[in-house]
Structure 1
Amino acid sequence: MKHNLQFTIPTFTEEFDVFPIPDNEKYDYWVPLLKKFIEQSDTIEIHCWNDEKDHINEMTLVFRGVSKIVNEGNITIIKGKITDDISNHVLYDNVKTNGKLKWFSIFLSRNNTPVFQSEHWGTEFFAPNLGDDDIANIKSMTPADTNFYQYQ
């Protein structure tokens, strides 16, 4: 039987900031999670706030020739087919100089079907159609106090 899984990493925010930070101040769970699902995907969509110009410009260069860029309200959406360059950049150049994750949201899909979502700077997640082994694997990657909600 397949399940949908929503899960949230325990976080805190610094005074006068809305950026959620993992309680242990590390994103060590994020790369293994994203790697697991990026390998199953053919398309990536990244959402940045419009004022995050450095990240938008950086991703525009990385996605060159394989992307569609759309501005919707306060969000810039960069979407394209996954290439080795894009995959490597997202997996291994994913934090800002202050140690925080660069992107507000990342959506992975295959043949226009959702595979994985990482939102709120890598602290809230959704993955559809998972088997029990997949769920156990995800739980082994995430912090002990992660909140899980599983449904069919």
Structure 2
Amino acid sequence: MKHIKIQLETTHSEHKTSFPITTSYWQELWDTYTTDFSSVEIHCWKEEPKHMEELEKIASLIQDQNLIIAYTVTLNEENREFLRNNSIDENGGLKWFTLLFYKETTQMLEIGQYGSEISLYGIDEKEAETFKAIFPEDVESEYFKEHLM
């Protein structure tokens, strides 16, 4: 499947590694690219109980996967608003390690490393350039014409 992968410049803190220096893209990403998605699977490290508690309240499915807990959240209006407006950690980056967005059963968007690695699937080169434009100018990106999922 065709896709673009974005890699943002990262930093770290005492409690978190490899998170983006800026999350200025977050609201535009939500408003423009997640509206057609039906659900999101959010992976959270077990060492982050504060962030896990928020997800437990809105998850339709919770799976223990050893080191992480995977929360599946149906993207209704209320959950979309919560995730759009409450995903940024006070230390920077996203609260959760990975977010996998689905359109029905097909993964369409992957946000990893607390928001520093982002892949949008099923787009052509022109759409990839438009997507890249929501991120800082110095962002690293690569467009793939083929990808086996």
What is the TM-score normalised by the length of structure 2? 0.87
CA–CA separation in structure 2 for the residues paired with 1:18 and 1:53: 14
CA–CA separation in structure 1 for the residues paired with 2:85 and 2:53: 17
CA–CA separation in structure 2 for the residues paired with 1:87 and 1:96: 17
CA–CA separation in structure 2 for the residues paired with 1:36 and 1:68: 26
Distance 1:18 1:54, change over 3 A: closer
CA–CA separation in structure 1 for the residues paired with 2:71 and 2:122: 25
Residue in structure 2 matched with residue 115 of structure 1 by the alignment: 108
Structure 2: 5+ residue stretches without partners: none
Give, in angstroms, the shift of residue 100 of structure 1: 3.6
Residue in structure 1 matched with residue 27 of structure 2 by the alignment: 31
What is the TM-score normalised by the length of structure 1? 0.86
Q: Percent identity?
A: 19
Q: Deviations over 1:6-59 (max 9, x none)?
A: 110111234x5652233xx32111221233222020111100001111111111
Residue in structure 2 matched with residue 20 of structure 1 by the alignment: 18
CA–CA separation in structure 2 for the residues paired with 1:46 and 1:17: 19
Distance 1:119 1:40, change over 3 A: same
* Aligned alpha-carbon RMSD (Å): 1.8
Q: Deviations over 1:113-142 (max 9, x none)?
A: 111010000000111111233212212111
SS in 1 for 2:72: strand
How many pairs are equivalent? 145
